Amino acid sequence: MKTVGIIGINGRVGQNVLSELKKIKTPIEIKTFGRNDEVTPLDIGILCTDNPVSRELAPKLKDRVRFLIDMSSEFRMDPQVPLVIPEINPHAITADTHLIASPNCTTTGLVMSLAPLKPFYHFTEVFFCSYQAISGGGKKLIDDFHTPGSYYEKNCVPLIGSLLENGHTSEDLKGLYETRKIMELPDIKVYCHTVRVPVENSHSLGVTLKAAEKFDLEQVKKAWNGFENLKYVDGVITPKEVSGKEDTFICRLRKDVEDEHIIHYFVTFDNLLKGAAMNGRQIAELLLEKFL
């Protein structure tokens, strides 16, 4: 039986990944380790640790773990490390791969909406504004949010991650660079503004997409509905309704009033599932099916 281990079981991500691994249908032995435990040999290891711990542990695990999935952002932009969403770029993993990165949650929602359209349209620009749930900020932010008088209560905070010297935040730039890497579109222009909103769970994005071709709305909806784990909804769907669901949902598709090369739409998805633990589980399933 193949062994799949979680390294960093005591954190929230580790616990969420454990719940997801229990859904895997192939018989596997699940092992769990604290970040300081000795890790026994594994077919798949899932690092559920912060960036500095992932940076320290990943090289040490190379000889003991056949495939290592890192849930942090530490290795995402390393050109040697595939950044994988199984519905989009499973081909990025080969038999020679050891380390695999799982993407940022907000980027995941965006690229899930872009990937089904890529065969039909040459994207030139994409703009999004995010509406990111409190759960994405981890236990500290959840506790803060539930403390009376929290800055995040009944508020929108346009700063997620660290503020960089150029005025962008680390979260804004993940939207740019991770999108280019996953979509294999190194020149696509991605403009974004990431914002924390007082929603308990599920991230949302308002997206504006420009292409070289004129958009056909029926073709766009058909492409979305034909894509795994993605649904277009007529009317409105909100983060509250999609919390706990595996699909990424899109609504409010319309053409720009002045330019048929531009569409606007709204994406919402459970950031802890497709945006994190579920994607980790799907990468593990892919490895079990194709390489182990």
- CA 185 to CA 150: how far, in whole Å? 40
Tokens of 111: 């690229």
Minimum gap (Å) between residue 122 Cβ and ligand 2RA:
28
- Among positions 128-157, residues that touch ligand 2RA (CB under 6 A) are 132, 136-137
- CA 201 to CA 198: how far, in whole Å? 9
Q: Are 81 and 27 in contact (CB under 8 A)?
A: no
* Interaction between residue 47 and ligand 2RA (CB under 6 A): no
Residue 98: which of 53, 60, 72, 52 has the closest Cα? Answer: 60
Among 54, 104, 108, 243, binds ligand 2RA (CB under 6 A): 104
Tokens of 66: 């056949």
Residue 284: which of 11, 9, 22 has the closest Cα? Answer: 22
Which residue's CB is nearer to ligand 2RA, number 87 or number 171?
A: 171
Give residue number: closest CB to ligand 2RA: 136
Among 83, 105, 220, 223, binds ligand 2RA (CB under 6 A): 105
Which residue's CB is nearer to ligand 2RA, number 82 or number 136?
A: 136
* Interaction between residue 272 and ligand 2RA (CB under 6 A): no
Q: How far apart are the first and last CA of the chain?
A: 10
- Among positions 106-125, residues that touch ligand 2RA (CB under 6 A) are 106
Minimum gap (Å) between residue 178 Cβ and ligand 2RA:
11
Q: How far is CA 237 from the centre of its chain?
A: 20
Tell me, by CB under 6 A, how many residues bind ligand 2RA.
Answer: 8
* Interaction between residue 201 and ligand 2RA (CB under 6 A): no
Among 21, 42, 44, 160, binds ligand 2RA (CB under 6 A): 160
What's the CA dihedral at 289, 27, 282, 65 to 10 degrees?
A: -80
Q: Which residues bind ligand 2RA (CB under 6 A)?
A: 104-106, 132, 136-137, 160, 171
